[in-house]
Amino acid sequence: MDKAPGVALGRLLLALDRTVARLVTSPHGLDAPVTSLAMVDVDDLHYGLGRAARSADLFLLVGLSDEAGVELLGDLGAHRPVAVMSKAPAPALTDLADRLGIAVIAVDRHARWERIYNLVIRVLDTARGPSVRGGESMRSGSTGDLFELAGEVARRTGGLVSIEDERSHVLAYSTAGDEADELRRLSILGREGPPDMLAWLRRWGVMDELRTSSKVVTVEERADLGLRPRRAVAIRAPGSGEFLGIVWLQQGAGRLAGDTDEILTGAAAVAARVIGRRRAAGTEHDEAVRRLLGARGDLAIAADHLGAQLGVDPTTPVSVVGFSAPPTDHTARVSALTLHASAFSPLSVTATIGDRAYVVLPGVATDAAVAWARVSVDAGVRQFGVRVRAVVAGPEVLVAVPELRTQIDRVLDAASREAELIDDVTTVARSRTGVLLGEIVGLLSENPDLVDPRVSELADLDARNGSGFTISLRAYLDHFGDVRAAAGSLHIHPNTLRYRIRRVQALTGMDLDDPATRLVVALSLRVR
């Protein structure tokens, strides 16, 4: 695969604008190309940088202390990034980077790192040609990008432009210098605007009017709130009129052009086509990943065709990681997982099937995939308070991906029944005992006539009297008749357990000295 074209460091800085980033030092100038980026956090220092992260041209130093940042740069070895981004980079970090020939970019302390990551990705996409950008210029109808559209509208109107999606996430914006007010600046950085400003916009019905109308809406200046005059128009899908977002235009130091409303209306129409094409491309991409994973139930896939669609060499070994978790905040978790996977391996692809998410990692060995999966599981706990399971399969060539997903599903299914036998982060190979036992227990659950009725009778007795016979019997069998160990696991006296086992034998007639009886009873207890 050819390396994607890069964006010169200077052009990247110009696109991000001083609203987001400021150059601190650049010992080799601003012409070096940036083609890839990686988010580096404390987990990467603990577990080690993955291969894709090590080869990235731009590092986003997320939550690293000054000492950790210096340690990271000092341990990089031969390959060094073109630049690093950091919030309030310390002099020690800047000095070391300067000696190593690495540019340092200071990021606004209010910025959300995921927003910075997405903004840089969009700027890089602009350099990758029509097939990636799929945008459109207002002048000629030629291929362009939302950033180009925002810049062109700004030039023609004399204002400051930002384009948001339907959830008020900034998709693109024009350069602003020092003229941006606080609402625009914080929106670009991924933060909510000042509460007083937002309350005023809601009170005057600005957002309601934008969501229900196609007219250009004028917002008057509120100097007491630091709110500059602005205009806005809704972006609506052609035909259906679906609300897709908003084009905002903040007035700068000078007057706006006389035909500003007409330009904004045209820009909204162009933006609708760009967003529509992006959505269609995203849908096609998602469907290609789902087909690669065998979502249609077919293990035979056209690996060459799907590999070409997804930019993955079909002969490259790939690992697949499957995640399973409760459905709460499913969309947000998948979005975070996709971002995390892209930072680890730029060629990775992610898809959801049911309540599970799958990440295909080209060229990533098992140990590296397991380490990344463990970082992802820990991040899920920190960010969403959800304990996620992860199973790694492979590596195999692309045509084997559906089979790898099937193996992952077997492990996740078994974990729902035999959780204590399967680690939260594991591989298919390490889970064989838990999987086989889980599937045996599953078959017994579906065929209750195969469950020892004496175990069912004990369970009914426990439900009526709270006698604790079934839990005691299972502990006794799990510890191979070692009364002291079994009693310790239950936090009861060994004599109490001995009494319960004698009562079980008296009530049911079980011969617990017989190996066959012990096997049947142990399996039946796991069904309960």
* DSSP per-residue letters across 139-185: TT--S--HHHHHHHHHHHHSEEEEEEETTS-EEEE---TT---HHHH
On the question of a common fold for 7-128 and 447-525, the answer reads no
Residue 259 CB coordination number (10 Å) = 12
pLDDT exceeds cutoff 80 at 177:
no
* CA separation, residue 105 to residues 7, 17, 83, 89 (Å): 15, 12, 7, 8
C-alpha closest to that of 36 among 75, 1, 87: 1
The residue with greater pLDDT, 52 or 206, is 206
Mean pLDDT across the chain, nearest whole number? 85
DSSP 358: E
* CA separation, residue 123 to residues 83, 116, 171, 276, 320 (Å): 15, 11, 11, 19, 29
Helices 330-344 + 113-126 axis angle, to 10: 60
The residue with greater pLDDT, 335 or 233, is 233
Give the pairing of strands 243-251 and 159-165. antiparallel
Strands (E), 293-445: 318-324, 349-353, 356-362, 389-396, 425-427
pLDDT exceeds cutoff 50 at 137:
no
**pLDDT tens for each residue of 399-428:** 999 999 999 999 999 888 878 889 999 999
> CATH second-level architecture of 143-279?
2-Layer Sandwich (3.30)
352 pLDDT tier (thresholds 50, 70, 90): confident
**Are the C-beta atoms of residues 488 and 503 closer than 8 Å to each other?**
no
Supply 506's token pair.
């008296």
CATH 3.40.1180.10 fits 7-128, yes or no: no
- CA 231 – CA 349 distance, rounded (Å): 38
Report residue 302 CA to chain centroid gap: 27
* CA separation, residue 524 to residues 445, 468, 517 (Å): 9, 16, 11
Domain boundaries, the chain: 7-128, 143-279, 307-436, 447-525
Q: What are phi and psi of 336, to 5 degrees?
A: -65, -40
Helices (H), 218-296: 260-292
**Are the C-beta atoms of residues 164 and 150 closer than 8 Å to each other?**
no
**pLDDT tens for each residue of 310-343:** 889 999 999 999 998 655 555 666 767 776 787 7
- Region 481-493 average pLDDT: 92
Residue owning tokens 């939550």: 63
DSSP 224: G
* CA separation, residue 453 to residues 114, 460, 526 (Å): 56, 11, 13
Residue 245 parent element (H or E): strand 243-251
**pLDDT tens for each residue of 138-175:** 543 333 478 888 888 998 899 999 998 888 888 888 87
Residue 44 CB coordination number (10 Å) = 25
Strand, coil or helix: 508: helix
The domain defined by 307-436 folds into Alpha-Beta Plaits (3.30.70)
Q: What are phi and psi of 65, to 5 degrees?
A: -70, 165
CATH number of 447-525: 1.10.10.2840
Q: What is the pTM of this model?
A: 0.57
Furthest C-alpha separation in the chain: 96
- Return the minimum-mean-pLDDT range out of 21-30, 72-81, 368-377: 72-81
pLDDT exceeds cutoff 70 at 128:
no
- CA 251 – CA 254 distance, rounded (Å): 7
527 pLDDT tier (thresholds 50, 70, 90): confident
pLDDT at 131: 39
Strand partners, 396: 318
- CA 457 – CA 445 distance, rounded (Å): 16
- CA 262 – CA 63 distance, rounded (Å): 44
Determine what percent of the chain is predicted with pLDDT higher than 70.
89
Strand, coil or helix: 334: helix
Strand, coil or helix: 319: strand
pLDDT at 157: 92
Q: Which conformational region is residue 63 in: left (phi greater than 0), alpha (psi within -120 to 50 degrees), or beta?
A: left
- Count Cα neighbours of 350 within 13 Å in the Cβ-side half-sphere: 18
